[in-house]
Amino acid sequence: MNRLVNIKSAFQEARLRYTAIALCIVTVMVFAAAGCGRQEGEEEIKNVDDVEFCLNVSIENIDNTIFRINDFLGGLSNNLDDDKKNQELTNWLKSYSCIIDATVFRTVWSSFMQRSITEILISFNENGTSKELILDVLRENPLRAVGYHPHFYPNQVMVITKPGFTIDKVFHFINSFEHDVMYIANVAYNSTMSADNLIPIRDALIAKPYIVGPVGALHFLTGKITLNFWLRDIKNKEIQVDWFKTIDDYQLVEITEGRFDGNHIYFIVPEGTEKEWKEKFEKYDFVESVDFFYWVHN
């Protein structure tokens, strides 16, 4: 009888131990499963957020990202100054798979907004092609994204020559390309004719449709007739010939000394090739600088 009781007690004790162990195993498995579920869920949320954000990252739809950007900006600590907040914004933007890069381009004043605006240059992938846009962030409390615009005006590249690069060489340079030229600006001449010819010379230049301006005056030191103007439609060979005749007719001498820079040539290049042509133009030793026409805020 005692032996039967002992066996029964041992069996009950073993069952209790087994139950306890089983409960521990089940508990561990439940918590482990719950932990794994959270990690997978967080990753899934992140992936969904990335996909949703990137669906709107295109030239056509990118304005739809502004409310998400403003949610992010509104959540930044007030202990950060505006520059650090904008840096945090660029880091956040770059965390999305469709954003190639995001950098602070410049800060400008908007007379319309009566606020400073920080421009964030964003490059992104659209159908396998790298595109660029500027995001305008209004510097108020909190910072607020107000819209996108192009990084620079398309098709236009400005080449500035060194001061000693005369107009005959400029013509030869522009004639070597198929690109059209909107203007040649910063054109400056003196005339060796007497000062009383200032008005007739100025009127004669005004009458020529390819001349924009001119501003004519007598130099305050030398008393020479000084003229500043722009040339347009200058790829036309007949116009180039006429300009050289005009130089002879009015005894014009190009000003090359004492100038900050030379002629400004406004090339028209195919859209999308602006950076390519900027790099090509910069290789010429007579080129002072090459730049784009950046967006101007009102």
Whole-angstrom distance, CA of residue 288 vs CA of residue 265:
11
Do 252 and 227 form a contact (C-beta atoms < 8 A)?
yes
Q: What residue type is assigned to position 162 of the chain? A: K
Per-residue pLDDT of the chain (298 residues; tens, 9 = 90+): 444 344 344 434 544 454 444 444 334 343 344 444 445 544 554 565 899 999 999 999 999 999 999 999 999 999 999 999 999 999 999 999 999 999 999 999 988 878 999 999 999 988 888 899 999 999 999 999 999 999 888 899 999 999 999 999 999 999 999 999 999 999 999 999 999 999 999 999 999 999 998 788 887 777 899 999 999 999 999 999 999 999 999 999 999 988 889 999 999 999 889 999 999 999 999 999 999 988 788 7
User: Which residue(s) pair with 227 in the sheet?
Assistant: 189, 216
At 298 the three-state DSSP class reads coil
Give the tokens for residue 293: 């026409």
pLDDT at 47: 63
Domain boundaries, the chain: 62-149, 156-291
pLDDT at 222: 77
Long-range CB contact pairs, 204-208, < 8 A, 24+: 204/246, 204/249, 204/250, 205/229, 205/246, 205/250, 208/242, 208/246
pLDDT at 45: 43
Where does residue 77 rank: exposed (0-12), middle (13-18), buried (19+ CB within 10 A)?
Answer: exposed
pLDDT at 48: 58
pLDDT at 293: 86
Residues 6+ apart with CB under 8 A from 151: 105, 121, 132, 133, 134, 292, 294, 295
pLDDT at 221: 76
User: How distant, in Å, are the alpha carbons of 69, 81, 103 from that of 76?
Assistant: 11, 10, 18
Do 74 and 85 form a contact (C-beta atoms < 8 A)?
no
User: Which residue(s) pair with 148 in the sheet?
Assistant: 135
